[in-house]
Structure 1
Amino acid sequence: MDFARNITLENARVRLRPLELTDFDDLKAVAFDEEIWRYLLTPMPRNSVELAAYLAQSLREREAGRRYAFAIIDKESSRVVGSTSYGNIALADGRLEIGWTWLGRDYQRTGINRAAKHLLLKYAFGELGCERVELKADARNWQSREAMRRMGATEEGTLRSHCLLPSGQRRDSVYFSILKSEWDQLRQTVFQQFDARG
């Protein structure tokens, strides 16, 4: 994967492009909400300084080839309403993870997350040649787990005491996956409204 390349992906609902420092103003309107960070491994930015640091860290991780963070742009408002990423990229093994996803609360359960996942899955399987895409969630995050099931991901199991949360607690992580062999069927069903193939 070419981390230096500026990847822009778009369907009828959302546009994804690389997260930038200039996304600060849009993100500060949605980021300071403890509820959307509750189950994430990334600490919630509590003020403008911490949000700027979050953006800078995302850019450093891209430069280091560890994570490729995207801005999620709601096409109805043309505003950046959250972020999502590719990470744990192992293209030699044909796999990567989609995660580090958060959305302003007003944009949850609106179809934006599924539209963004459609774009990331389509690019992973079609352009990057992945055979497997992984997703994971805090075991307590039933909303996220149900969203993954509804988009056709298979729950594979729970890794106990898997990660350290910013609170100092240990979290169990539930892993899901979608395989390339499953993608065409999902494009025609779960993601049909976003998939404009000729």
Structure 2
Amino acid sequence: MWPAPVTLTGDHVTLAPLSLDHAPALKKASADGELHRLWYTWIPKPADMEDEINRRLSLQKAGAMLPFCVMTPDGTPVGMTTYMNIDAANKRVEIGSTWYRSSVQRGPLNTEAKRLLLSHAFDDLGCIAVEFRTHFMNHQSRAAIERLGAKLDGVLRSHMDQGNGVLRDTAVYSIIASEWPAVRANLTWRLEKPRK
């Protein structure tokens, strides 16, 4: 299996292989700020958490996804992220299906999680590119992706049906291997600079 399950650990976050054991805490995380009510993204309702974990684990068995539970340093689950749309032949992955409970957003957790995922993809897996996709209207997500140093490849208009009567325009971003040293330096600087 490429990529194989792995635990990635930093100072502000741990990314561990997702399991059903994480469901109770992830239900609480989803309820924090009622994230599942956002119209431009899909975050599982607390009642649907086991189904979502099982969906991600099924995609992992099929070789299409590597799901992680996002945890604070004390081991509390606060969200999920994945490598998805895995293309082993071309050494490409997408980092996506990411969400965090409201109380940990806008802090160092996301920056470090992305640095860990990008480092593993480029330095350990030898990826030639890492992709990010989000709803065109998800301005918070797009700004966060751009702060990473990813470049906009384009917008796929009317790309997918969200299941709520809305067609999603998908903004597609990527970081290629030659850009990784500068992106890594930027993320390290962001993590080390004093926070106000």
TM-score, scaled to structure 2? 0.89
Q: Does 1:104 align with 2:101?
A: yes
Q: How does 1:148-187 map to 2 (within 5 A)?
A: 148-187=145-184
8 Å CA contact 1:45, 1:54 repeated in 2: no
In structure 2, the CA distance between the partners of 1:37 and 1:58, relative to structure 1 (3 Å rule), is farther
Distance of 2:184 and 2:13 partners within structure 1: 16
Query: How much has 1:108 moved relative to structure 2?
Result: 0.9
Q: 1:36 to 1:93 in 2, by over 3 A?
A: farther
2:138 is aligned to 141
Gaps of at least 5 residues in structure 2 are none
Which residue of structure 2 lines up, in the alignment, with residue 29 of structure 1? 28
Aligned-partner Cα distance in 2 for 1:36–1:191? 33
Q: Secondary structure at the match of 2:106?
A: coil
2:75 maps to: 78
Contact 2:153/2:174 (8 A) holds in 1? yes
Residues 1:2 and 2:2 are matched in the alignment:
yes
- Letter aligned with residue 84 of structure 1: T
1:73–1:82 Cα contact (<8 Å) kept: yes
Q: Runs in 1 of length 4+ with deviation above 4 angstroms?
A: none
Q: What letter corresponds to residue 15 of structure 1 in structure 2?
A: T
What TM-score results when the alignment is normalised by the length of structure 1?
A: 0.88
**Cα distance 1:130–1:35, how it changes in 2: closer, same or farther (>3 A)?**
same
Label 1:154 to 1:91 Cα distance change in 2 as closer, same or farther (>3 A).
same
Q: How far 1:43 moved relative to its partner?
A: 5.9
1:166: how far off? 2.8
Equivalent pair of 2:84/2:95 in contact (CA under 8 Å):
yes
Which residue, 107, 111, 116 being the options, matches 2:113? 116
CA distance in 1, matches of 2:124, 2:10: 16
| d(CA) in 2 for partners of 1:80, 1:189 | 27
Give 1:158 deviation, angstroms. Answer: 0.6
Match of 2:64 among 63, 66, 70: 66
Which residue does the alignment assign to 1:19? 18
**Equivalent position amino acid for 2:181 in 1:** D
Letter in 2 for 1:61: L
Unaligned runs of 5+ in 1: none
Residues matched between the structures, number: 190
Paired position in structure 1 for 2:54: 56
